[in-house]
Amino acid sequence: MLIKEPGKITERIDFLGTWENCLYLLKGKEAMIIGGGMSWIAPALEKQLSAMDFDLKKIKYLVIPHSHFDHCGAVPYLKRKFPYIQIVASAYSKEVFSKEKAVDFIAGINKEMIEKFGLQNEYERLNLQFDGIQVDRVVAENDIIDLGDGVEAHFLEVPGHTKCSLAVYVPKLKAMFPSDSALHPTDNGSELSHPSAQYDFPLYLESLRKLAAYEVEICAFEHHGVFVGDQAKKVLPQGLEQAEKFKNYVIEQYQQIGDWDRVTQRLAAEAMEKNKLPFLSLELQTSVTEAEIRKILR
């Protein structure tokens, strides 16, 4: 089953944010937010958190699975809301957030979405400015954060989508939080998106193989919701199979068309139709697709 609407997944996991931009609250004796979202979802987060029958002071951690603008844009707002939480990320994400150019880019796209949705009043009222991120705790492969009551967040390094990508696995719940290191559902939920491996396609496949080896009953994506039950068990192996087929598809397209730009434009248009993410312009999708094709054809 695919859960599309934010709300309670289990007694230990709440789905926050929106269908397009998902965050999760993982609860033991302490709690952890997984995912950093974008600033435009802050009004939804305000309503969800205020309506929750949960002591929000128990939230001790916020995990940024990777440093892309759509996975960290709401972090400064959440840090201001919960100043006592630790920001958790990989060493390379911490390096990215130390670069002025990267911070300006993330801030710019998040501000564009505020303007697109007419949220200027909320931007001022909730202080949604993206003014940088200070990582408090660096995690790497096999690191664990114990939230109590048997709920442990195990960190996995899963590069390929980005150099800095992390996934979180919770053994007690058989719950996987792969972020964009796996193929998320499409906009209508009927299939999986194209793979997104602009950093390194072979590493992306290797990371998918790692993820697919885990026993999973909940697979919580940061775009387009949560699979539970039988679909959760199958989605990561299916994603691996689809990614391998996509590699062959790209090669075939290039052999048939013989024009790099035309192949890029075709595949970018296909990805836009599948994803329909409001913050992903055709220009940006084309840039991402071109990088991925280069990694496959090199």
Decide: 167 and 158 in contact? Cβ < 8 Å. yes
Task: Say whether both 184 and 223 belong to one domain.
Answer: yes
Task: Say whether both 118 and 197 belong to one domain.
Answer: yes
Task: Say whether both 133 and 258 belong to one domain.
Answer: no
Q: For 204-216, write each residue's pLDDT tens digit.
A: 999 999 999 999 9
Q: Please work out, in degrees rounded to the nearest 5, the angle formed at the alpha carbon of residue 292 by the alpha carbons of 223 and 103.
A: 60
Q: Please work out, in degrees rounded to the nearest 5, the angle formed at the alpha carbon of residue 240 by the alpha carbons of 216 and 272.
A: 105
Decide: 208 and 236 in contact? Cβ < 8 Å. yes
> Residue 143 phi/psi, 5° resolution?
-70, 150
- pLDDT given for residue 294 in this prediction: 84
Task: Say whether both 110 and 207 belong to one domain.
Answer: yes
Task: Say whether both 254 and 232 belong to one domain.
Answer: no
For residue 179, pLDDT beyond 90: yes
Task: Say whether both 249 and 232 belong to one domain.
Answer: no
Task: Say whether both 219 and 261 belong to one domain.
Answer: no
| pTM for the whole structure | 0.96
Q: Is 94 helix (H, G, I), strand (E, B) or coil?
A: helix
- pLDDT given for residue 17 in this prediction: 98
Task: Say whether both 268 and 163 belong to one domain.
Answer: no
Task: Say whether both 222 and 254 belong to one domain.
Answer: no
DSSP 172-205: TTTEEE-GGGSPPB-TTSSSBPPP--SS-HHHHH
State the residue range of the domain holding 252.
242-297
Number of domains within the chain: 2
Q: For 17-76, write each residue's pLDDT tens digit.
A: 999 999 999 999 999 999 999 999 999 999 999 999 999 999 999 999 999 999 999 999
Task: Say whether both 91 and 157 belong to one domain.
Answer: yes
Task: Say whether both 13 and 161 belong to one domain.
Answer: yes
Task: Say whether both 237 and 253 belong to one domain.
Answer: no
Q: Give the CATH number of the domain where residue 224 resides.
A: 3.60.15.10
Distance, in Å, from the CA atom of 57 to the CA atom of 106, rounded to the nearest integer, reads: 28
- pLDDT given for residue 258 in this prediction: 81
